[in-house]
Amino acid sequence: MAINTCNITLKSGADPLTLEKLVDIKDFPDLGGAPELLETTTLSDCTQTFINGVQSVNALEFTANYTKEDYLRVKADEGKDLYYALEFGKDGEHGIFEWQGQHSVWVTGGGVNEVVEMVIQIAPSTAITPKEVEE
């Protein structure tokens, strides 16, 4: 069964057991990427061959509506080593992904008749892994 993006929550905290919602988010990035390819081609091969190398992960960028209060709260923890979780559904009923890292935040540009937004960018320092949830 498919799920929709309703009730997806970004959480953070100094301890993985006490994570709290960071802010309401409007989107979320890919939670992984393709691994680097390591070429294994020899002179006997007529076609290039590869094995998988390290999995690439980009900085994780989340968009949120700007409010002064949310911005200042997120900014207060900027650059700190924190734990993060992205929960799918209420209480993570459709899955939870966890990682560690540091974030930064900035206000994005705007134009006529647009909502003012901010971006929270998280630099992951660990792999992004699914959390085992007890049922």
Is 25 strand, coil or helix? coil
Number of other residues whose CB lies within 10 A of the CB of residue 93: 13
- The mean per-residue pLDDT over the stretch 34-59 comes to 95
Decide if 8 contacts 28 (C-beta within 8 A): yes
Q: What is the reported pLDDT for 132?
A: 78
Confidence of residue 78 (pLDDT cuts 50, 70, 90): very high
Domain ranges of the chain: 8-130
Confidence of residue 135 (pLDDT cuts 50, 70, 90): low
Q: What is the reported pLDDT for 133?
A: 63
Decide if 10 contacts 21 (C-beta within 8 A): yes
Q: Which CATH architecture has domain 8-130?
A: Beta Barrel (2.40)
Torsion of CA 85, 86, 91, 92, to 10 degrees: -110
Decide if 100 contacts 123 (C-beta within 8 A): no
Token pair for 114: 């647009």
Q: What is the reported pLDDT for 134?
A: 62
- Whole-number mean pLDDT of the chain? 95
Q: Would the pTM count as exceeding 0.85?
A: yes
Token pair for 115: 């909502």
- The mean per-residue pLDDT over the stretch 42-66 comes to 96
Decide if 74 contacts 107 (C-beta within 8 A): no
